[in-house]
């Protein structure tokens, strides 16, 4: 004999009734009449073969069977909700949009990561904005993008920040510079050296200035440039030294256009963070990209991974 099952509507009624413990209020929430609701509860009781509630004065109580039915109903409805979410997630991964904003220096590696990610999700549309740290913080405050990549989490905004890859800042010099090749240079060796600096608002500049201030090093700012490419050219042209991310100078080091000075305290180890406003639930595709960045970062990590804790 085939068993008769309750309808989903009856299960939903049971969860709402358990919450209100009042037929009239439950019926109101479900936009049905109290009489119709009562009929459904009676039918459900007949299906499970036990009374589901009892009325004591004006108060409605669930029986033991009623509580069991309510728990099972909640389980079934939660499971369905999870199913809808998972299906929605799959659809989002097939044809979502992803808006990412990255700080200037991150343009040296994020596009490549995005490219590989897009191969896995060919249907999605991606937009990538590049700005300095200050510009990114403004975009973040206005909630303009899905994800942001920057060199440290902002302290004055509530964000979820996931560190995913090291960002090593080094002192870069023209290969002809007299300090090139000297091991263990004290920070004071940089005193009076001309520097080509990133623009104010840059995270790289901020980190360099903090280092110089904490070691009482006084460098001369020969030139301020908003472009890392221009800074590399200026350094190669012997206009001065610069502090740059190791991510930005791979090809120039390889072909001997630039050299890295061995200054004690360098590299300054910062981390690349992917973040979003704390109150924002990232889209399925943004969550997938975040997980992808974490996996890529872990794959490229050095044996001693001093990853800071994620926040938010």
- Minimum Å distance from CB 267 to ligand PGA? 12
- Minimum Å distance from CB 202 to ligand PGA? 3
Window of 70-78, 181-189, 196-204, 209-217 that interacts with ligand PGA by CB under 6 A: 196-204
Give the integer Cα–Cα distance in Å for 108 and 246: 10
Give the integer Cα–Cα distance in Å for 187 and 264: 6
Among 60, 105, 148, 249, binds ligand PGA (CB under 6 A): 105
The C-alpha angle with vertex 157 and arms to 155 and 163, in degrees rounded to 5, equals: 60
Residue 198 makes contact with ligand PGA by CB under 6 A: yes
Beta bridge partners of 59: 56
Tell me the HSE value of 134 on the side-chain side, using a 13 A CA sphere.
8
Give Cβ neighbours of residue 283 (< 8 Å, ≥ 6 apart). 92, 96, 97, 98, 146
Among 60, 167, 235, 283, binds ligand PGA (CB under 6 A): 167
- Minimum Å distance from CB 103 to ligand PGA? 4
- Minimum Å distance from CB 310 to ligand PGA? 17
Burial of 281 by CB count in 10 Å (0-12 exposed, 13-18 middle, 19+ buried)? exposed
Residue 163 makes contact with ligand PGA by CB under 6 A: no
Give the integer Cα–Cα distance in Å for 98 and 88: 16
- Minimum Å distance from CB 99 to ligand PGA? 19
**Cβ–Cβ under 8 Å, residues 272 and 164:** yes
The DSSP code sequence of 130-160 is EE-HHHHHHHHHTT-SSEEEESS--SSS-EE
Residue 150 makes contact with ligand PGA by CB under 6 A: yes
Residue 101 makes contact with ligand PGA by CB under 6 A: no
Window of 98-106, 120-128, 141-149, 178-186 that interacts with ligand PGA by CB under 6 A: 98-106
Nearer to ligand PGA, 48 or 103 (CB): 103
Among 110, 132, 137, 286, binds ligand PGA (CB under 6 A): 132
- Site string (241-270) toward ligand PGA, x via CB under 6 A: -----------------------------x
**Cβ–Cβ under 8 Å, residues 155 and 147:** no
**Cβ–Cβ under 8 Å, residues 125 and 133:** no
Among 73, 104, 161, 172, binds ligand PGA (CB under 6 A): 104
Residue 203 makes contact with ligand PGA by CB under 6 A: yes
Among 151, 163, 240, 297, binds ligand PGA (CB under 6 A): 151
* Residue 26, phi-psi category: left (phi > 0), alpha (psi -120 to 50), beta (remainder): alpha
Beta bridge partners of 99: 127
Window of 5-13, 110-118, 181-189, 197-205 that interacts with ligand PGA by CB under 6 A: 197-205
Nearer to ligand PGA, 10 or 167 (CB): 167
**Cβ–Cβ under 8 Å, residues 228 and 148:** no
- Binding residues for ligand PGA, rule CB under 6 A, total 13
- Using CB under 6 A, list all residues that contact ligand PGA: 103-105, 132-133, 150-151, 167, 198, 202-204, 270
């Amino acid at each position: 004999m085939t068993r008769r099952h309750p309808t989903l509507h009856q299960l939903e009624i049971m969860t709402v009734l358990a919450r209100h413990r009042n037929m009239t209020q439950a019926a109101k929430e479900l936009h049905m009449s109290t009489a119709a609701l009562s009929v459904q509860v009676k039918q459900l009781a007949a299906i499970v073969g036990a009374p589901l509630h009892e009325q004591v004065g004006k108060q409605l109580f669930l029986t033991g069977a009623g509580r069991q039915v309510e728990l099972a109903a909640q389980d079934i409805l939660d499971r369905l909700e999870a199913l809808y979410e998972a299906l929605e997630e799959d659809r989002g991964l097939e044809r979502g949009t992803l808006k990412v904003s990255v700080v200037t220096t991150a343009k040296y590696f994020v596009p490549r990561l995005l490219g590989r990610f897009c191969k896995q999700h060919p249907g999605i549309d991606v937009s990538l904005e590049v700005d300095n740290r200050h510009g990114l913080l403004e975009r973040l405050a206005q909630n303009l993008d899905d994800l942001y990549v920057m060199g440290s989490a902002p302290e004055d905004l509530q964000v979820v920040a996931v560190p995913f890859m090291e960002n090593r800042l080094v002192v870069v010099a023209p290969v002809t510079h007299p300090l090139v090749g000297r091991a263990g240079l004290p920070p004071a060796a940089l005193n009076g050296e001309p520097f080509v600096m990133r623009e104010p608002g840059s995270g790289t500049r901020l980190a360099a200035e903090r280092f110089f201030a904490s070691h009482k090093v006084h460098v001369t700012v020969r030139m301020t440039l908003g472009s890392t490419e221009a800074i590399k050219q200026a350094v190669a042209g012997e206009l001065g030294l610069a502090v740059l991310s190791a991510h930005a100078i791979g090809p120039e080091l390889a072909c001997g256009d630039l050299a890295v000075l061995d200054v004690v305290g360098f590299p300054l180890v910062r981390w690349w963070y992917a973040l979003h406003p704390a109150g924002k639930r990232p889209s399925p595709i943004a969550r997938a990209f975040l997980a992808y960045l974490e996996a890529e970062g872990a794959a490229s990590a050095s044996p001693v991974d001093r990853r800071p804790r994620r926040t938010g």
